[in-house]
Amino acid sequence: MAKLLSVLGALLPLLHQADAVGYTNVSEVPYYGLSPPVYPTPEGNGGNSSSWQAAYARAYSLISQMTLEEKVNVTHGHGGQCVGNSGAVPRLGLPQLCFADAPDGIRGQEFVSSFPAQIMVGASFDRDLMYRYGKALGEEYRGKGINAALLPVAGPLGRVARGGRNWEGFGADPYLSGAGMENVVLGLQDQGVIGTAKHFLLNEEEFRRNPGELGEAMSSNVDDRTIHELYAFPFMDALHAGVASIMCSYQRANNSYACQNSKLMNGILKSELGFQGYVVSDWGGQHAGVASANAGLDLVMPDAGYWGGNLTQAVNNGSVTDTRLDDMVARILASYYYLNQDQGYPEPGVYPYNVEHEIIDVRGDHASLIREIGAAGTVLVKNVNNTLPLKNPRYLDIFGYDAKLPASPWTNPSRFGGGYEVNFGWNTLNGTLITGGGSGSSTPPYVISPFQALQDRVLKDRGTVRWDFDAENPIVFANAEACIVFINAYASESFDRTTLQDDFSDRLVQNVAANCSNTIVVMHDAGIRVVDSWIDHPNITAVLYAMLPGQESGNAIADVLYGDVSPSGRLPFTVAKKESDYGLLLNSTISFEPFPQSNFTEGLYIDYRYFDKHNITPRYEFGYGLSYSSFDYSDISVECHDDTAPEYVPSTTNTTTQGGDSALWEALYTVKASITNSGEVAAHEVPQLYLGVPNAPGRQLRGFERVFVKPGETQEVEFKVTRRDLSIWDVLKQDWQLQKGRYSVDVGRAVEILDSRIRFTGSKVR
């Protein structure tokens, strides 16, 4: 069956689009490496949202009663119980607002949950799980009286394969990341907690992210089209969902620090995208006073930074206007009122670890959700002769440091107060890895190790377990029905990874496989892990990417290994055959003339787009993942809802909806397909929609659905294709352009799988 998806609109000359299509000389790109000034800061007014408008009315009513000093006091951090504490105005009944990490659970506290990292949530390719994840986090943050949760994360997106914080995001694709941002924000803010989407913008590596003894921070130099179509894209989804706060990032962007970059904050965020909430600095991310205020920063953390009395003086001498200060305060207060936090919100219940305090247990039944996401985000990439699921083995060998509980990680007092830091798995060989390191790490109330969960299963079958967690060349017992090897790859804030493989782990896998004909490898990784040194060994029968699953790690992987859950996770990144295949996207690539510069010369082509463009065959493509069942795809169709859509959306104004003009979010087409379970196991399948947009990367993810299908059953899935999904950013008109031309439509199991793909070519749809 063949069809062609077409849209109306005149096609402009494309010479000026070369900056994002792929260029060789960055000096030819307009404004490349420069950040055009955009002043003044648009004033928040509620836009076209009645809820925001009502919040602003209340905010300005309170502001009218405040002194200059009280207003300034609200705009910066103070000491207190939390990682961040805003200024209070006690005489007017305005409390401090409590800010806390982390994206996968409240950091440094007791009786809280350790959720899977966002990378695992992304690997589930399940919007419902994304929402439930945000909702559960919201319940815990609210229960602890935390006003602002420092989540979700879309920066880094995952440009640099070895990036230290890639695990904090949903995956290396803007559409997938956007779906995660949208649904987590909805779930979180439905509980009345302020979401803080971060890090805005272009925070793609840890190397030289801050100034220091070596000089200024590095500058992420990115063309305007790539900023819009790739890096700002997922933040648009968070904004459209109503996110009330944005955190600006540490590094420079086009040679202007992100927290004083007027193009990013005044131009893109508050003008084009109509943001009504407040911009908060990353902790210590402010590097100037007047410049940051006038560029759109509203709240500095964790202390007064360059503001405090200096801001009072700047307002008095006219360097910062009264209206800019009022707007800063109004944006903070409006967010507070927008989430109805003045109506019975709990007092902060976070405490240092070394002070006796009230026990506040906020976990509810979140362990079951954590276990469900841990299984749903596990990606099976190899399964020879249906090795998995296990058939109730009575004799298992279990090897590898990642199978055990780590030694105590409760050793690092918090840098910012409000508890303690925990790097669970901070030493890679120390034990099972359930989260990454740094401010994004969570604090588990317990951990179910893989060994514990598997041992319990074997004991129920009156079996025997043999184990060795430490040896590189362990003894393999002849009667074992399977040998399961657990390895991991750690990553953290503050530094990038030095390798995507590990010599010790690789030797361990090879040594076990040399002596065990049924070797199963499970990897808990904070990002990409290359496997080509052992993946083709004939004795390695099954391999799973189990990501960072949180406290229920062992139970989640046992559910998949034993077949209680058929694996449906999909890779949220591309796994290369060798590290060099990532080319300039492997490491941070910085020049030092005259200041550290990182030129994003690949434009729109990161991850699978890069592999497509350069004709590189990956080991495992983005979106890849196996199942215990099999599926057939059929009956794909495209329905057009509007064949008169104009080439450009109307000019955006500050009264536009958050996330951009409402026309961008209108569905112009619906793509449908039928999915039949032709196997023998009831399982989830994850069909994915890829569009080929003219003058853009040949394939871009623009839809996915996780659907449960019983054997012999057929389920229809549909993907709504919006104007934004079909558009490119016109750098001359500074608007989203809907081109006239040929658009390919692919529905399949992954970006490069051909055997389960349906593609349209041929007749037009109007």
User: Among 229, 234, 22, which Cα is nearest to 727's?
Assistant: 229
User: Among 130, 127, 149, which Cα is nearest to 138's?
Assistant: 149
The span from the CA of 553 to the CA of 433, in Å, is 9
Burial class (CB in 10 A: 0-12, 13-18, 19+), 665: middle
* Token output for 555: 């139970």
Residue at token pair 């405040």:
66
The span from the CA of 390 to the CA of 257, in Å, is 53
The span from the CA of 575 to the CA of 620, in Å, is 5
The span from the CA of 549 to the CA of 146, in Å, is 24
Distance of CA 44 to the CA centre of its chain: 27
* Token output for 90: 């006690």
The span from the CA of 720 to the CA of 743, in Å, is 15
* Token output for 411: 């050793």
DSSP state of 400: S
Residues listed for the chain: 766
Peptide linkage before 549 cis (omega within 30 of 0)? no
Residue type, 40: P
**Helix ranges, 301-441 (H):** 309-316, 322-338, 366-376
Burial class (CB in 10 A: 0-12, 13-18, 19+), 493: middle
SS3 string, 644-709, reads CCCCECCCCCCCCCCCCCHHHHCEEEEEEEEEEECCCCCEEECCEEEEECCCCCCCEEEEECCEEE
The span from the CA of 468 to the CA of 476, in Å, is 9
The span from the CA of 153 to the CA of 151, in Å, is 6
The span from the CA of 478 to the CA of 688, in Å, is 43
Residue of 104, 223, 282, 327 marked active site = 282
The span from the CA of 197 to the CA of 148, in Å, is 11
β-pair partners for 743: 5
Instruction: Say whether 399 sits in a helix, a strand or coil.
Output: strand
The span from the CA of 677 to the CA of 684, in Å, is 9
Active site (annotated) includes residue 661: no
User: Among 286, 327, 314, 337, which Cα is nearest to 76's?
Assistant: 286
Four-residue CA torsion sign, 361, 366, 368, 372 = negative
The span from the CA of 635 to the CA of 385, in Å, is 30
Instruction: Say whether 283 sits in a helix, a strand or coil.
Output: coil
* Token output for 450: 């893989």
Instruction: Say whether 418 sits in a helix, a strand or coil.
Output: coil
Q: What is 197-210 written as a DSSP string?
A: EEEETT----TT-S
Sheet containing 631-640: which strands, arranged edge to edge? 631-640, 667-677, 714-722
DSSP state of 115: P
Beta strand pairing status for 84-85 and 148-149? unpaired
The span from the CA of 339 to the CA of 326, in Å, is 20
User: Among 495, 553, 409, which Cα is nearest to 117's?
Assistant: 553
Buried b (16+ CB within 10 A) or exposed e, 383-409: beeebbbbeebebbbbbbbbbbbbeeb
Catalytic sites, residue numbers: 282
